[in-house]
Amino acid sequence: MQNVTPSLSVITEASSLMTTGEVATYLRLRERTIYEMVSRQTIPFTRATGKILFPRRLIDAWLEAQTELPDAGIAPAPPIYAGSNDPLLEWALRQSGSGLAVLARGSAQGLDDLAAGRAVMSGLHLIDPQSGAWNIAAVHAHLPGSRHVLIHWARRTQGLLLATGNPKGVTGLADAVARGLRFALRSEGAGSQRLLEVLLAREGLSHADLVTAGQAVDTHTDLAALIDTGQADCGLGLQAAAGALHFLPLISDESFDLVMTRRAYFDPPVQKLLAFARTETFASRAAHLGGYDLSGLGTVVWNG
């Protein structure tokens, strides 16, 4: 019987899982080379079924990550993390040796920075008021038709930060508004500010009902400092940033995700961060800060 080698077109239309022979044909390499790459773990593969298989979508993403564009006039993005402020993430970026500087100016601004090539990766927690879903609608709006991937970081707990001991006896968001407490606010486009508007709407309230305290701030730490120094009575922020302040939880399933190009996902800064996030040191830090659920960290939420 004649030995027929499958063509590239056949492989392209085949199952989403390729065998060693199929991936060798797809990549125009020898099977021996594929086995060597598997042994060095330099190519995506799985043994979930008991034999070596290669998920097509990961092979395609891996190929894109290796693609060089020397004459395309596309400058590489600077080594910057942009987007939302998160204490655990920013600590991990330093401790992991990722090499990424932090430019935390809010979730929406981070998406704009990523789209404009001013950052390698962006973090966001933007709720869709209609569906209650997190982040995907915002990514579609800011990065239409893009080849980006959304990676889950953590579920976080947000709530009201109040003076130590809660001397005013605040019982909830509506109570704080009704009693005219001075709210510290985050900057426009910050995920926490948008979440506050959604939570107010659920109480039949709006931004116009708030008594605000001074200028909006960029980080959870700055917001907590306004309350701690008496310049504000309360504000919506992370449990992880509360410190000695009184914390009244309002939502415990906020999804904080990271978005980047598929190429950036395979590059050392992101891989170093994700590898560090699997260590005991990282888990201990998250437990110390409080308000983090790390059970889904690293999973792909959306692949553009």
Q: Where are the chain's structural domains?
A: 8-66, 72-304
Identify the pLDDT of residue 9: 35
How does the average pLDDT of the chain come out, rounded? 88
Q: What is the pLDDT of residues 97-132, one digit of tens each?
A: 999 999 988 999 999 999 988 999 999 999 998 888
Provide the residue type at 279 as one letter: T
Centroid of chain to Cα 212: 29
Q: What is the pLDDT of residues 12-21, one digit of tens each?
A: 333 588 999 9
Identify the pLDDT of residue 6: 37
pLDDT of 55 strictly over 80: yes
Q: What is the pLDDT of residues 63-78, one digit of tens each?
A: 766 665 544 445 678 9
Identify the pLDDT of residue 66: 60
Percent of the chain with pLDDT over 90: 67
pLDDT of 160 strictly over 60: yes
Among the listed residues 34, 31, 83, the one whose alpha carbon sits nearest the alpha carbon of residue 187: 83
Identify the pLDDT of residue 57: 82
pLDDT of 56 strictly over 90: no
Average pLDDT, integer, range 142-168: 93
Q: What is the pLDDT of residues 227-237, one digit of tens each?
A: 999 999 999 99
Identify the pLDDT of residue 257: 98
Q: Say what the pTM is.
A: 0.75
Quote the radius of gyration of the chain (alpha carbons, Å): 23
pLDDT of 11 strictly over 60: no
Identify the pLDDT of residue 74: 55
**Cβ atoms of residues 160 and 170 within 8 Å:** yes
Q: Give how far Cα 177 sits from Cα of 112, 199, 215, Å.
A: 32, 12, 18
Average pLDDT, integer, range 190-199: 94
Identify the pLDDT of residue 293: 97
Q: Give how far Cα 86 sits from Cα of 44, 83, 114, 157, Å.
A: 30, 9, 17, 12
| CATH 1.10.645.10 for the 72-304 domain, yes or no | no
Of 55-64, 79-88, 187-196, minimum mean pLDDT range:
55-64
Identify the pLDDT of residue 38: 84
Identify the pLDDT of residue 73: 45
Residue 198 and residue 206: Cα distance in Å, rounded? 9
If pLDDT is split at 50, 70 and 90, which confidence band does 172 have? very high
Cα first-last separation, the chain: 43
